[in-house]
Structure 1
Amino acid sequence: MDRSRQLQHSDEAERHLLQGERNITDKEKRIEVLERHGHETTLACAVLKTFLSSSN
Structure 2
Amino acid sequence: MKKGTFMNETEWLDYFETINNYKLTEEETQQSKANGEFIVSEPVAENSQPQV
Q: Same fold judged by TM-score > 0.5?
A: no
Which has the bigger relative contact order, CA under 8 A and spacing at least 6? 2
TM (norm. structure 1) is: 0.26
TM (norm. structure 2) is: 0.26
Computing the radius of gyration over CA atoms, which structure comes out larger, 1 or 2? 1
